[in-house]
Amino acid sequence: MALNQSGWRPEMNAGGADDTTTFTDNRALMLEEPLIFEIGSAQTTGVDFDEDAPAADLGALARSAPIGLPGLSEGEAVRHYTRLSRQNYAIDLGLFPLGSCTMKHNPRLNEKVARMPGFADVHPLQPQETVQGAYAVIHELAEWLVTLTGMHAVAMSPKAGAHGELCGVLCIKAALEARGEDRRILLVPESAHGTNPATAAFAGFTVEDIPATAEGRVDLAALTARLGPDIAGVMITNPNTCGLFERDMKAISDAVHAAGGYVYCDGANFNAIVGRVRPGDLGVDAMHINLHKTFSTPHGGGGPGSGPVVLSAALAPFAPLPFVTRDADGFRLIEEENAGEHHPDSFGRMTAFHGQMGMFTRALAYILSHGADGLKQVAEDAVLNANYLLRSLEDVLDAPFAASGPCMHEALFTDDGLAEGFSTLDVAKGLIDEGYHPMTVFFPLVVHGAMLIEPTETESKAVLDQFIGALRSVVLRAKNGDPALKSAPHFAPRARLDETLAARKPVLSWSGD
């Protein structure tokens, strides 16, 4: 890229920069960063090899045309990615109250542990006698998950929450098949995460909505009335996405079981009850656990996750391969080869290899650090923090289910009462200027302009108090119709981005060279 060295840009004032413009577009510590395609070159590299590239004789298969992959020297690369990183908000910087996402502190011990060579530098197909430590981690974490949930077994291989949902739903399919029954409908509440109906459809089920009561919970009577020989089961999130505990969960499970169906529980919100309530005591047949939520493996800007699925005795025989078992000789793997003998009803395999080992080590370190007492405290403090926010904000923000009882780990508000033309989006963008990541917005879909706030247990009272002040301020501006809020954020690396343009004329890769 040719850089402008003249010191002048047409849009600048004659005398140079004014108080809002700079020649570089940088603003002191807020640094603009070009794409690697604009600063790198095909000749530059940040990796040295101590040997020459030998000649290859690959005939017509040899790659001759340029690929178009720019390189950077190590220093340039470190600077590029460091500059990019500074354009991100992160839990390390402040409160990240995304509802249903459980953005808690990520302990660094867990990062250290995951990098031990006995975990990080081990091949998944090494002979079993050389990977006993890796199997031991999987086994030990599995025992914790089974005990914490009061369930019968756990499938460890699912790669993330939605993959875990798929695992649970396939267990239900396999169980129905084993019974010789063709039940094709899964009932899913309207307040469910989008992954629930998508997963059900991906596995070949038809989805029907379950209605909710006025207080934000599943309508037990309506659900019971719909049960019958065509219903495979229900997918219920508990605590639900309105932040409420499904009081009737046990009754729902009993009714579904009596009608021959199974109960899938979306465990995305397990943080509210970990160590304090066991889903197994509520009649759940399958529940995925997001290790990247409740057990604090870092989100990494969108993954990787890990979604082990705990299973009831009814569904455990259908769990996917492979899994680790222990006998007198040590740990060993049950996979396709020996499944016929040990696990003949498995529905099959969901992924290559064994699942997210790098997340298992982190989650196990997290669990061992907390212990049974610490995990119980996690749930209590998470719920306490959420209720503190709910009761500190309900006088300025509409809280549709404030009368439905205490909330669990997250508090739900709506945009009811804001000035004409102002919505949840404006509140969210205003919070950005105040130095916070916004809450989850426009979800769940069951209320208008949802704002779902999950503080988690790793936030102090002082942090919450300042956030309460900031949110009240932004809400008051939105109620008073402050025009500056409509164009917020003003202090972020970018102003509001044109998402319509991005979708109408998709530019999904660099083509400027």
Burial of residue 131 (CB within 10 Å: 0-12, 13-18, 19+) is buried
Selected range binding other proteins among 1-9, 309-317, 416-424, 489-497, rule: CB under 8 A: 489-497
In the complex with other proteins, the residue whose CB is nearer, 194 or 481, is 194
Asked whether the CA dihedral 87, 92, 97, 103 is positive or negative, the reply is: positive
Between 325 and 351, name the residue whose CB sits nearer to other proteins.
Answer: 351
Q: Could you give the CA distance from residue 477 to residue 430 in angstroms, rounded to a whole number?
A: 9
User: From the CB of 275, what's the least distance to other proteins, in Å?
Assistant: 6
Q: Please tell me the distance from the alpha carbon of residue 4 to that of residue 99, in angstroms, as a whole number.
A: 45
The tokens describing 513, both together, are: 């060279």
Residue 62 is a binding residue for other proteins (CB under 8 A): yes
Applying CB under 8 A, among 13, 56, 180, 341 the residue interacting with other proteins is 56
Q: Does 496 bind other proteins (CB under 8 A)?
A: yes
Say if strands 153-155 and 231-237 run parallel, antiparallel, or are unpaired. Answer: unpaired
Binding positions for other proteins, 11-30, rule CB under 8 A: 25
**Per CB under 8 A, which of residues 90..109 are in contact with other proteins?**
90-93, 96, 98, 101, 103-107, 109
Tell me the number of residues near other proteins by CB under 8 A.
Answer: 199
Query: Min. distance of Cβ 363 from other proteins in angstroms?
Result: 11
Q: What residue type is assigned to position 96 of the chain?
A: F
Write the interaction track for other proteins spanning residues 394-413; mark x where CB under 8 A is met and - where it is not: -----------xx-------
Taking residue 460's Cβ as centre, other Cβ atoms within 10 Å add up to 10
Among the listed ranges 139-147, 226-234, 254-262, 310-318, the one in contact with other proteins (CB under 8 A) is: 139-147
Amino acid present at 370: H
Stretch that binds other proteins, among 137-145, 255-263, 310-318, 395-403 (CB under 8 A): 137-145
Among 302, 328, 329, 420, binds other proteins (CB under 8 A): 302
Q: 41 in the Ramachandran plot: left (φ > 0), alpha (ψ -120 to 50) or beta? A: beta
Which position among 31, 222, 384, 402 is part of the footprint of other proteins (CB under 8 A)? 384
Contacts of other proteins in 106-125 (CB under 8 A):
106-107, 109, 111-113, 115-125
3-state secondary structure of 470: helix
Residue 271 is given by DSSP the state G
Footprint (CB under 8 A) of other proteins, residues 315-374: 320, 336-337, 347-359, 361, 364-365, 368-374
The three-state secondary structure class of 459 is: coil
Least spacing, CB of residue 108 vs other proteins, in Å: 9
Least Å distance, CB 344 to other proteins, is 15
How far apart are CB 486 and other proteins at their closest, in Å?
10
Q: Which of residues 447-486 bind other proteins (CB under 8 A)?
A: 457-461
Q: Quote the least distance from Cβ 417 to other proteins, whole Å.
A: 22
Site for other proteins in 143-162 (CB under 8 A): 144, 147-148, 159-162
Residue 3 engages other proteins in binding (rule: CB under 8 A) = no
Name the burial class of residue 101, with classes exposed (0-12), middle (13-18) and buried (19+) by CB atoms within 10 angstroms of its CB.
buried
What element of type H or E holds 144? helix 132-149
Least distance from other proteins to the Cβ atom of residue 512, Å = 10
Rg (CA), the chain: 26
Interface with other proteins includes 309 (CB under 8 A)? Answer: no
Part of the chain binding other proteins (CB under 8 A), chosen from 1-9, 133-141, 395-403, 414-422: 133-141
Site for other proteins in 213-272 (CB under 8 A): 244-245, 247, 249-250
Q: CA angle at residue 409 from 241 to 427, to 5 degrees?
A: 70
Q: Which of 7, 10, 66, 180 binds other proteins (CB under 8 A)?
A: 66
210 binds other proteins (CB under 8 A): no
* Residue labelled with tokens 């109408």: 504
Instruction: Please say whether the beta carbons of 355 and 321 come within 8 A.
Output: no
Paired tokens of 460 = 């102090």
Closest CA to 203 of 318, 322, 353: 318
Report the alpha-carbon distance of residue 266 to residue 196 in Å, rounded: 8
22 burial (CB, 10 Å; 0-12 / 13-18 / 19+) is: middle
Q: How far is the CB of 419 from other proteins (least distance, A)?
A: 20
Using CB under 8 A, pick the residue from 298, 308, 317, 430 that binds other proteins.
Answer: 298
DSSP string, 285-314: SEEE--TTTTT----TTT------EEE-TT
